[in-house]
Amino acid sequence: MEYFLQQLINAVTLGAIYGLIAIGYTMVYGIIGMINFAHGDIFMVGSFIALIGFIICVMLGIGWVPLAILLVLLLAMAFTAVYGWAVERLAYRPLRGSFRLAPLISAIGMSIVLQNFVQLSQGARPKPNKEVITGAIQLYEANGFAVNLSYIQIIIVIVTLVLMTGFTLLITRTALGRQQRACEQDMKMASLLGVDVNRTVSLTFVMGAALAAVAGMMFLLYYGLTDFFVGFLAGIKAFTAAVLGGIGSLPGAMLGGLLIGLIEVFWAGYFSSEYKDVAAFSVLVLVLIFRPTGLLGKPEIEKV
């Protein structure tokens, strides 16, 4: 029982990180109907910017942890948002009217460019980060095994819930959200009705990149390291989470992230860590066979 509770806490934390990345996928898909396969590498860039930010804080002598985290978070979100805007401007906007595979291929190319850019500028070896948030709450102890909930795990879950709620309210209650939903339904009609489609799509990419920066910083704080290839697998897992929960649905992205986290952690804990990815993708296949739109997704109605 103690081992199960500890693994459950670890699974929810991992799922929250996947969910944050998956929200970026589902926001872009909801607007233009395309998968941004460079999004995982935007997450990786965000983790590196956060690492550089913490190094700068040490150099400047900023020792108060809350202030350092806030400054690094703002720095990571700002710079990573620029990368997200650049991906949309270079890889998507020129090909928006082309056949559907063209932006997909372009996004994969941007992913490779970002990976190699970071590899050449920062090196190929994993970059460690000094532990910033320490301490844990002991929830339960029995048979010599203690169930601990670390402060960083609490922060990750709270930040994820706050951001998911905030972005859901933004899309459902604000003018920008109405413009995004209008573009999702019909870009040409939205443009005729006065919606600046290019601005709306760019802002969606910027917001998705900012979320990826938050996830990258949480990943860095939780695991204490990053490398240039970390975005590839995390991006694939987050994309899987978005599809599993119902791509286009923000709550579905979070639900999918939690499910992927639960499957991975419990499979690795009770069976074999070598096959945890196989288990996660197998569940995805089963869900798509019986519910092609995902758990919370809605069937797409073809316009005539």
- In tens, the pLDDT along 67-117 reads 999 999 999 999 999 999 998 888 888 887 777 778 788 888 989 999 999
Q: Which of 122, 45, 48, 36 is nearest to 80 (CA)?
A: 45
The fold for domain 2-125+138-290 equals ABC transporter involved in vitamin B12 uptake, BtuC (1.10.3470)
- In tens, the pLDDT along 127-147 reads 998 888 888 888 877 777 788
Asked if residue 249 lies in contact with residue 297, where contact means CB atoms within 8 angstroms, the answer is yes
Structural domain boundaries of the chain? 2-125+138-290
What does the pLDDT average to over 197-226?
A: 90
Mean pLDDT across the chain, nearest whole number? 86
pTM beyond 0.85:
yes
Helix (H, G, I), strand (E, B) or coil at 226: strand
Burial category of 208 from C-beta neighbours within 10 Å (exposed 0-12, middle 13-18, buried 19 and up): buried
- What is the dihedral sign for C-alpha 41, 43, 45, 47? negative
Token pair 């109405």 in the structure block, residue: 178
**pLDDT the model gives residue 302:** 52
Asked if residue 36 lies in contact with residue 105, where contact means CB atoms within 8 angstroms, the answer is no
Alpha helices for the chain (secondary structure H): 2-32, 39-60, 65-87, 101-122, 151-173, 175-185, 187-192, 197-223, 230-245, 250-270, 276-290
Asked if residue 18 lies in contact with residue 234, where contact means CB atoms within 8 angstroms, the answer is yes
pLDDT at 303 over 70: no
Q: Residue 52 — very low, low, confident or very high, per pLDDT cuts 50/70/90? A: very high
In sequence order, what DSSP letters do the residues of 165-223 get, joined into one string?
HHHHHHHHHSHHHHHHHHHHH-HHHHHHTT--HHHHHHHHHHHHHHHHHHHHHHHHHHH
Cα separation, 189 vs 210, in Å, equals: 28
